[in-house]
Amino acid sequence: MTPPPGPFDPSHADEPELLDLLDNATRSESPLMLLDIASSMVASFDDSDLDDTDADGADPTEIPPIRELALQMLEATPKETEPLVRIWAQMLDDELFGRRIAKMLPTPSTKRLPEWIRRAEEIKPFRAAALISPVKIEETILLEISTAGRSVTLAVGVDRSGSPYLEDAYLADGPLSNIVEFSRTELELPVDEVTLSLADAGARLSEAFEMSTHMFPPIETESWPGTRPLLEWMLRKLPEGGTGYEIRTWEPEEIEELVADFRASPFAESLTEEEIGHAHLLFEFQCNYGNNDPLRWSGTFVERLMCDLYPRKVMSPADDLLLMPTALAALVRYANDRSGVDPVFTENALNAIDDNREEYTAQVRGDRPESTSALFARLLTGVDDDTLPLSEPVSDLGDEFGGGSFFGDQASMLAEIFIGSGAEAVGGIEALQALTDEPLPGEGLDTAGVADDVVDRLNSFVPEIRRIADEVFGEPELATSALRFLAEIGRGDPTVFRRRLADRTLLAALFWIVGKTNNLFSAQWSSEGDVTIGKLQRHLGVSSSPKPTAEKMLHAAGHELSDVEVILGDPRYLISRRRRRIIANRDTYWDDLPEDWEY
């Protein structure tokens, strides 16, 4: 797909850059580029600007509405802008404007323009299909657009959580069959292909588009709302009378039947009655807030359930709520096994339960996860008090906490914990003693020793790595950490980069690793960040948990995942903020180490 031009500044409508762009689009064999430009420019105007207005008396410095701009462009540069205006005459739902433009344009008999532009009135939807996730959480509606030349396909992403809504729309070159074939051979996760009548496609697209207009904040992607005028144009040309999304209403008795079947299944045999008691609500939440099918579970909905819906909507004692993840894991296995979906979706959902368990626990308890120091203070003293002065050596706290008290007697234990964990994070006691907090320098990707056949792919990641580090984590240093570890994987075992894994999947896994090793995810103990794994996934458009791919990457670089912790044991991967925390613990607890302690 040709990248959309992005937000268009109409004040530059007659500048050479735009005219060159239009010339290239007109000469292109594919209609994609010109349709993309035409739609993006219309989308750059506010809805209020799309109505005909009288320009008399208007401020000459104001940007004219799109129709007035079209007339001005034809007067100033008719040859260069005619192709664009011909598309606008069809795209804009304005018969008067179309007639006015027709009088200004030369007859379309000239061969100077490609035939598809001269016959722009014939542009229309031709056929449609949908690529649907087997767990029904998302789908992509494909609308092939025919012209008098080559066809293009408008791909519309729809999120089916609760009421389906449009989450993106972009143009792809070629017929619908090209994307279908790509989905069969290149996508990481399987999808179901469903042929749609044009009427049914129109009904689904209209519903999803309408719902998206009520989303706040408004949906913005690289291509949306740039493709909105094109979608609206095609919707007007689609036949009416189709069937949209069918949202089933599940009766309480039906859900109780599912609960009874789950209770009798081998998946629930190890659960207590209190844990099984969550099953009815879990099925109900999937029916009402998820994909409307209680027997198909995805990692995406599991994350939303644990990090938002369940702790916010269920009024129950904390001890009872904390039983839910165990019940959810068993229920996911039962439901996906009964519906027969690919096991990869079950694995993703179970990984999502593991990834979000700490965040869920924190929300149920009404606070963020406590710091490591506060945790150990509470465990050792039995005092649940955030005011314990752990910012100074335990042995210097005075009689209240030392001098024979339980806490004072255990000073050496705390020191062993913090000094030991710090040494583990940086690769040993000597490395801990020599540790500094100088910021990681900005670096490029060092491909020395990396297999030649993956170098180009790794280099293509560099701009996106810098952007993610800055935009998602607000930590430019993290780009250096990610680039260093990326190169380490390439030197160790580059097989993961030769597989047909999407770039966004690899990037999500890479930042899952360096984010965890730097304690940047909010669910980690002692984290100082507010980034969730779900936020990282949403930013990259990844629906499955990054953990399985991250484990492969860690193994390729010679590391193993310990439970859910990532310990690389090398300060080269630690940003300055993380190292400052380790240094502070080192300086605080060093004097409390027992004389015979060995790492």
pLDDT-derived band of residue 562, with 50, 70 and 90 as boundaries?
low
Percent of the chain exceeding pLDDT 90 equals 47
Question: What pLDDT, in 10s, does the model give residues 5-47?
Answer: 343 444 444 455 778 888 898 899 899 999 999 999 888 764 4
How far apart are the C-alpha atoms of 294 and 135, rounded to whole Å? 10
How much is the pLDDT for 45?
Answer: 67
Q: Contact at 8 Å (CB) between 476 and 466?
A: yes
pTM greater than 0.85 (yes/no) = no
Tokens 């004219």, residue located: 64
pLDDT-derived band of residue 230, with 50, 70 and 90 as boundaries?
very high
What distance lies between CA 426 and its chain's CA centroid?
31
Residue 437 pLDDT > 80 = yes
Structure tokens at 16: 């050479």
For the beta carbon of residue 57, count every other beta carbon within 10 angstroms: 5
Residue 55 pLDDT > 60 = no
How many helices (H) does the chain have, and how many strands (E)? 28, 5
Least reliable range by pLDDT among 162-171, 363-372, 438-447, 552-561: 363-372
Q: Contact at 8 Å (CB) between 23 and 143?
A: no
How much is the pLDDT for 395?
Answer: 39
Q: Distance between terminal CA atoms of the chain?
A: 55
Rounded mean pLDDT of 102-119?
79
How far apart are the C-alpha atoms of 340 and 343, rounded to whole Å? 8
Residue 505 pLDDT > 70 = yes
Question: What pLDDT, in 10s, does the model give residues 176-198?
Answer: 999 988 888 777 778 889 999 99
Rounded mean pLDDT of 318-335?
96
Closest CA to 120 of 154, 145, 141: 145
Q: Name the burial class of residue 434, with classes exposed (0-12), middle (13-18) and buried (19+) by CB atoms within 10 angstroms of its CB.
A: exposed
Rounded mean pLDDT of 269-285?
95
How far apart are the C-alpha atoms of 76 and 567, rounded to whole Å? 64
Closest CA to 147 of 237, 263, 259: 237
